[in-house]
Structure 1
Amino acid sequence: MTLKDKFYHYIQSLQDNITTALEAVDGKAKFKQDIWERPEGGGGRTRVIENGAVFEKGGVNISAVHGALPESMQNYFGVKDADFFACGLSLVLHPKNPFVPTVHANWRYFEMYDKDGNIVDQWFGGGQDLTPYYLFDEDAAHFHTICKKACDAHHPEFYQKYKERCDSYFWNTHRNEARGVGGLFFDYCKASENMKMNDWYNFVSEVGNSFLDAYIPIVTKRLNTPYNNDHRNWQEIRRGRYVEFNLVHDKGTLFGLKTNGRIESILMSLPPHVQWVYDHAPEKGSEEERLIKVLQHPRDWVNTSNV
Structure 2
Amino acid sequence: MRHLHRLVKNPSARAWLVGAVPAALGAAALVNHQNESQCKASRIPAEAFMYSKFSPDRAPKDSIEFDTTAPMNKRMEAMILRVQDEICDGIEAVDGKKFTTSQWEREGHGGGGRSRVMQDGNVFEKAGVGVSIVHGKLPPAAQKQMRARGKPLEEGKDLPFYACGISLVMHPKNPMAPTIHLNYRYFEMETGRLNDKGKPETIAWFGGGADLTPSYLFEDDARHFHSVYKQLLDKRDPTWYNKMKKACDEYFYIPHRQEGRGVGGFFFDDLEDTSEETFQTIRSCANAMLDSYVPILKRRKDLPYTQKQKEWQQIRRGRYVEFNVMYDRGTKFGLATPGSRVESILMSLPLTARWEYMHTPEKGSWEDRTLQVLKNPVDWLDVPEVNLETLSTAELLQEIARRSE
Aligning the two structures, in what range does the TM-score lie when normalised by the shorter sequence? over 0.9
Task: Using the TM superposition, give the Cα deviation of residue 95 of structure 1 relative to its aligned residue in structure 2, in angstroms.
Answer: 0.2
- How far, CA to CA, are the matches of 2:318 and 2:191 in structure 1? 41
Aligned ranges 1:25-64 → 2 under 5 Å: 25-27=94-96, 29-39=97-107, 40-64=109-133
Q: Check if 1:159 corresponds to 2:241.
A: yes
Q: Contact (CA 8 Å) 2:236, 2:278: kept in 1 or not?
A: no
Secondary structure of the 2:376 match is coil
- How far, CA to CA, are the matches of 2:85 and 2:344 in structure 1? 17
- How far, CA to CA, are the matches of 2:84 and 2:383 in structure 1? 32
Aligned length: 302
Amino acid at match of 1:100: A
Q: Contact (CA 8 Å) 1:141, 1:304: kept in 2 or not?
A: no
Task: Using the TM superposition, give the Cα deviation of residue 199 of structure 1 relative to its aligned residue in structure 2, in angstroms.
Answer: 2.2
Identity of aligned residues (%): 49
Greater relative contact order, per chain length (Cα 8 Å cut-off, separation 6+): 2
Structure 1 stretch displaced more, 206-215 or 114-123: 114-123
Secondary structure of the 2:351 match is coil
Q: Check if 1:277 corresponds to 2:356.
A: yes
- How far, CA to CA, are the matches of 1:130 and 1:212 in structure 2? 13
- How far, CA to CA, are the matches of 1:119 and 1:128 in structure 2? 31
Aligned ranges 1:1-307 → 2 under 5 Å: 1-27=70-96, 29-39=97-107, 40-78=109-147, 79=153, 80-113=157-190, 118=200, 120-191=202-273, 196-260=274-338, 261-305=340-384
- How far, CA to CA, are the matches of 1:172 and 1:222 in structure 2? 26
Unmatched 5+ stretches in structure 2: 1-69, 148-152, 386-398, 400-405
Cα deviation, 1:238-274, whole Å, max 9, x if unaligned, reads: 1000000001110010000011321000111110111
> Scaled by the length of structure 1, what TM-score is found?
0.95
Q: Contact (CA 8 Å) 2:191, 2:203: kept in 1 or not?
A: no
Q: Contact (CA 8 Å) 2:228, 2:292: kept in 1 or not?
A: yes
Task: Using the TM superposition, give the Cα deviation of residue 202 of structure 1 relative to its aligned residue in structure 2, in angstroms.
Answer: 1.1
Amino acid at match of 1:50: Q
- How far, CA to CA, are the matches of 1:239 and 1:214 in structure 2? 21
Task: Using the TM superposition, give the Cα deviation of residue 305 of structure 1 relative to its aligned residue in structure 2, in angstroms.
Answer: 4.4
Cα deviation, 1:211-259, whole Å, max 9, x if unaligned, reads: 1111110000111101121111000001000000001110010000011
- How far, CA to CA, are the matches of 1:305 and 1:60 in structure 2? 37
When Rg is computed on C-alpha atoms for both structures, the one with the higher figure is 2
The CA RMSD over aligned residues, in Å, is: 1.6
Unmatched 5+ stretches in structure 1: none
Task: Using the TM superposition, give the Cα deviation of residue 114 of structure 1 relative to its aligned residue in structure 2, in angstroms.
Answer: 5.5
Secondary structure of the 1:304 match is coil
> Scaled by the length of structure 2, what TM-score is found?
0.72
